[in-house]
Structure 1
Amino acid sequence: MDVPFRGESMSEAGIRSPWWSTTVRWLLATGVLSLVPPAVFADGYDFYSNWPTHITASDGTDFGLAVLYQYDLNQFSHDQGRFEDASTNRRRYFGLFLRKPGVYDAIVQYDYQARQWVDTFVRIRTSGAIGIDLGNLRFGYSKTPVGFEGVTSSSATTFIETALPTQAVWEGRRAGVDWAWVRPHFIVNVGDYFWRKDLDGNNPGTTLAARAAWMPINRQGHVLHLGLSASREKLDWADQGALPPLARLRARPEDGLSPVRLVDSGPLPYSRQVDRQGFEALWIDGPWSVQGEYLQARVDRDHGKPDFATHGFYLFTTWTLTGEARYYSDGNVADRRYNGRDLQAIRPTHPWGAVELAVRYSELDLNDGAISGGAEHDWTVGANWYIGEHLKVQANYVRAFSERRGLQVNPHIFEMRAQVYF
């Protein structure tokens, strides 16, 4: 039986088709689509790009669906029986967007797999709205900025899962307001996430955060990005009479379907606040890129409990065999679908898509004083196939090496993902 993912019940997991059957169907479907030449459609219609998912008015206002569907397969070996093979939906985002390029954009999106809200906000670009560039203001529920991989769109990630330190340190989404000052060669972002719970009624607390980046090189296909970020999360009691506020830092071995964590700080009750810092770098030169980040976090605790600190880093390189460059926009790596400013489509050079290879090393240490959360480092190799603007197939192979309280577990993990997004 497959392992259920997040909110899924065991009964729901038990009625799935065998992983190999579903995976074969996905591969056949994407393979057939990739072989259909755009010329077979009347009037030059491009099936890969012109999906009827949105409507554009004469003044440029765009309204449509915001959908992300991912189906994952995880297989484990050399794991001492701690993991179970699984295949199921990883994400099922469904939402609506409304935007006028250069003026505003808004989105409401829900993940029906995890049963929780995702991006839900309104953003105003003051240069287009009032004619004076005072930056971009965003109100609502969005990603906090410490964690370069975490802030990257879930549809645009190079690897199937984020690196060990990103999982442990990145805070996720919070509700509030943030301001961004975006220029060709620098970006400053400040956020006050004052809503004391997220949209699902969980995660009591507030966060102040800031991020700055300098881009001495910033043109299409050639980027040098150097940035730093920091945040302070203050934790609250959930409800009167509830357990004291707690923090917990942990990471899966860069798989997404198993509940097993090889490194885990465990619950840290009486946690007062969590301070996070990140140092990030990205270099893009045509089909080559290198990206890395160092992340650290410190949990301050009350009632005589010891504080806890952790740190980790990752470094990866990519090479696009078909010649395309990773797309960069507004301080982050963006979807290959469109430019974040004017929505101009970025299409692969070849009609059958773009192919990318990648290698990543990541490391995380969750040992601090009397708290033995363990240490882990992973090697991941990956291949990505971008088929037009809306289809993507990924494959990763992970070698994980962990030690916690004298126990070593070093699983081998094979992962595949089929993705549809628009």
Structure 2
Amino acid sequence: MKLSRSTLSVALLAALAAPAAHAEVALDVIGNSEVSFEGLVQADFYSYGNDLKNLNVDAPDGSDSDNELRRAELVLKGKGPGNFEWVLGYDAKDDKFLDVNVKYKFGNNANHFIQVGQFKQPNSMEELSSTKNNDFIAKGSITNTFGVARRVGVGYYYGDVNWGVNATYFSRELTRNRKHGNGFGLRGTWAPINETGNILHFGLSHMDYDADLGGTAALNTGDIVSFSARPLADISQTLVSTGNITRSDRVATTGFEGLWVRGPFKLQGEYMKTSVQRYGGSPDVDFDGGYISGLWNITGESWGYKSGTPTTPLPDNPGLGMWQVGLRYDTIDLNDGTGNTTTGATTGVLGGEQDAWTVGVNWYWRSNFKFMLNYVKVDSSKWVGGTTRRYVDDNPNITEVRMQFYW
């Protein structure tokens, strides 16, 4: 759904005119379950400083900007009966189900439960954190490219306030024609320091799933997978992409993560390596990437910690709001092969490399509004065959704005 600039302005004014609310709206008690309602609406605007490729998703219309309603999430939650909790979420913008699951807490302990249904898989601290509290408008390249998000499955979590172990078995997404492939996920976290305003966290995760995207047996392509990364702009064209990797069997991703919070400062980083196991004589391929980011709450607030992820507070002064400034370095490498500049012949997979710096300012106003401004500088390089026979650089810059309303 495209939005004109005037439409975005009207949407923003309507949001500002809405009465303040809490993070969720209590509805009723039904069948001994306390039912509440949550929502999230996000609208983005991007202005591109294109280099070679026009990043506009409607290219070649000549425009150097994009705007779109990114999310329109509606979520019902229930606590009870007893030790049960449930959630039913839907994104009206993307026409897909979000979290749809039932959780049973052993001994009513939030750190010991079993979960059945669709939920986020345990493989990325950034992915597992709440979307409404993203530090930057776009998540890291590895999170969107290698991470496994929501899938239908069963999960078991056991831990304490400063450590946790999560194991899942999953299949496809609940929404038809979305990602699929059976697999399992594991994540362990440990916070040797976990005090108010003073947190140190380490995590390790591993995902393994079937490459089940349906190649054509008659053409000897077998199952296929593909990986691509946008230039830290969620609705833009991609600059690096592997294309279809044929005769793929299994995909395995191992991730390392770290987090340090000291008062109003937060330092966070993740690294992922993805391996594609292939058959029929095709060589296995490996890709990797990571990010490191720093965030400063100018207004002095600090972060909390829950189930191996940081939690974002409300502003200490709702009228002033909470102001943040951040810096992130992001890199992803989708190359595992070589290109011959003389003959043009290639081996392996040459999807390209991309590095990016992001500078951001966030303003959380009162309890329900967030405004974000990012500037992204991208350096990418990708092999181009044919008569070109060389790696070609494409180095755009992007200015991004997000307006968000949530309850």
State the TM bucket, normalised to the shorter chain.
0.7 to 0.9
Instruction: Say which SS state the counterpart of residue 90 (structure 1) adopts.
Output: strand
Report matched runs for 1:211-290 at 5 Å. Answer: 211-236=187-212, 238=214, 244-258=222-236, 260-290=237-267
Relative to 1, partners in 2 of residues 1:107 and 1:187: Cα closer, same or farther, differing over 3 Å? same
Task: Tell me how far apart the structure 1 counterparts of residues 139 and 290 of structure 2 sit (CA, whole Å).
Answer: 12
Structure 2 letter corresponding to 1:136: F
Report matched runs for 1:4-403 at 5 Å. Answer: 8=1, 13=2, 16-17=3-4, 19=5, 21-25=6-10, 48-50=20-22, 53-55=25-27, 62-84=34-56, 85-100=65-80, 103-128=83-108, 135-193=112-170, 195=171, 198-236=174-212, 238=214, 244-258=222-236, 260-336=237-313, 346-369=314-337, 370=347, 371-403=349-381
Task: Tell me how far apart the structure 2 counterparts of residues 102 and 379 of structure 1 sit (CA, whole Å).
Answer: 48
Deviation at 1:408, TM superposition (A): 0.9
Task: Tell me how far apart the structure 1 counterparts of residues 379 and 37 of structure 2 sit (CA, whole Å).
Answer: 41
Task: Tell me how far apart the structure 1 counterparts of residues 351 and 267 of structure 2 sit (CA, whole Å).
Answer: 30
Instruction: Say which SS state the counterpart of residue 268 (structure 1) adopts.
Output: coil
What whole-Å deviation, never above 9, does each CA across 1:364-415 have from its counterpart, x for those lacking one?
1111012111101000011111112221111111001000011111111011
Relative to 1, partners in 2 of residues 1:198 and 1:244: Cα closer, same or farther, differing over 3 Å? farther
Task: Tell me how far apart the structure 1 counterparts of residues 184 and 163 of structure 2 sit (CA, whole Å).
Answer: 21
Q: Which ranges in structure 1 are unaligned for 5 or more consecutive residues? A: 1-7, 34-46, 337-345
Deviation at 1:237, TM superposition (A): 6.2
Deviation at 1:134, TM superposition (A): 8.4
Instruction: Say which SS state the counterpart of residue 328 (structure 2) adopts.
Output: strand
What whole-Å deviation, never above 9, does each CA across 1:325-364 have from its counterpart, x for those lacking one?
133212112353xxxxxxxxx4533433111111000111
Task: Tell me how far apart the structure 2 counterparts of residues 59 and 112 of structure 1 sit (CA, whole Å).
Answer: 27
- Which residue of the partner structure matches residue 341 of structure 1? none
What whole-Å deviation, never above 9, does each CA across 1:274-294 have from its counterpart, x for those lacking one?
000000000111110100011
Identity, in percent, stands at 29
Instruction: Say which SS state the counterpart of residue 107 (structure 2) adopts.
Output: helix
Task: Tell me how far apart the structure 2 counterparts of residues 101 and 418 of structure 1 sit (CA, whole Å).
Answer: 37
Instruction: Say which SS state the counterpart of residue 126 (structure 2) adopts.
Output: helix
Match of residue 410, structure 1, among 371, 395, 400: 395
Deviation at 1:269, TM superposition (A): 1.8
Task: Tell me how far apart the structure 2 counterparts of residues 331 and 101 of structure 1 sit (CA, whole Å).
Answer: 26
Relative to 1, partners in 2 of residues 1:248 and 1:352: Cα closer, same or farther, differing over 3 Å? same
| Aligned-CA RMSD value | 2.7
Relative to 1, partners in 2 of residues 1:50 and 1:93: Cα closer, same or farther, differing over 3 Å? closer
1:237, 1:244 within 8 Å by CA — same for their partners in 2?
no
TM-score, structure 1 length as denominator? 0.83
Task: Tell me how far apart the structure 1 counterparts of residues 360 and 230 of structure 2 sit (CA, whole Å).
Answer: 17
Deviation at 1:217, TM superposition (A): 1.2
1:217, 1:223 within 8 Å by CA — same for their partners in 2?
yes
Q: Which ranges in structure 2 are unaligned for 5 or more consecutive residues? A: 57-64, 338-346, 384-390
Relative to 1, partners in 2 of residues 1:101 and 1:360: Cα closer, same or farther, differing over 3 Å? farther
Structure 1 letter corresponding to 2:98: V
Task: Tell me how far apart the structure 2 counterparts of residues 255 and 202 of structure 1 sit (CA, whole Å).
Answer: 21
Aligned residues: 380
Relative to 1, partners in 2 of residues 1:32 and 1:173: Cα closer, same or farther, differing over 3 Å? closer
TM-score, structure 2 length as denominator? 0.86
Relative to 1, partners in 2 of residues 1:325 and 1:275: Cα closer, same or farther, differing over 3 Å? same
Deviation at 1:51, TM superposition (A): 7.5
- Which residue of the partner structure matches residue 41 of structure 1? none
- Which residue of the partner structure matches residue 343 of structure 2? none
Task: Tell me how far apart the structure 1 counterparts of residues 30 and 315 of structure 2 sit (CA, whole Å).
Answer: 24
1:308, 1:368 within 8 Å by CA — same for their partners in 2?
yes
1:186, 1:213 within 8 Å by CA — same for their partners in 2?
yes
Instruction: Say which SS state the counterpart of residue 144 (structure 2) adopts.
Output: helix
Task: Tell me how far apart the structure 1 counterparts of residues 304 and 31 of structure 2 sit (CA, whole Å).
Answer: 26
1:398, 1:412 within 8 Å by CA — same for their partners in 2?
yes
Instruction: Say which SS state the counterpart of residue 205 (structure 1) adopts.
Output: coil
What whole-Å deviation, never above 9, does each CA across 1:194-243 have from its counterpart, x for those lacking one?
x3564324333211110001111112322111110001112336599797
Relative to 1, partners in 2 of residues 1:319 and 1:251: Cα closer, same or farther, differing over 3 Å? same
Task: Tell me how far apart the structure 1 counterparts of residues 89 and 405 of structure 2 sit (CA, whole Å).
Answer: 15
Relative to 1, partners in 2 of residues 1:324 and 1:180: Cα closer, same or farther, differing over 3 Å? same
Structure 2 letter corresponding to 1:398: V
Task: Tell me how far apart the structure 1 counterparts of residues 82 and 361 of structure 2 sit (CA, whole Å).
Answer: 34
Relative to 1, partners in 2 of residues 1:417 and 1:101: Cα closer, same or farther, differing over 3 Å? farther
Task: Tell me how far apart the structure 1 counterparts of residues 135 and 377 of structure 2 sit (CA, whole Å).
Answer: 17
- Which residue of the partner structure matches residue 342 of structure 1? none
Task: Tell me how far apart the structure 2 counterparts of residues 297 and 237 of structure 1 sit (CA, whole Å).
Answer: 17
What whole-Å deviation, never above 9, does each CA across 1:231-268 have from its counterpart, x for those lacking one?
1112336599797321111110010112x111111111
More strand by share: 2
Task: Tell me how far apart the structure 1 counterparts of residues 233 and 319 of structure 2 sit (CA, whole Å).
Answer: 31
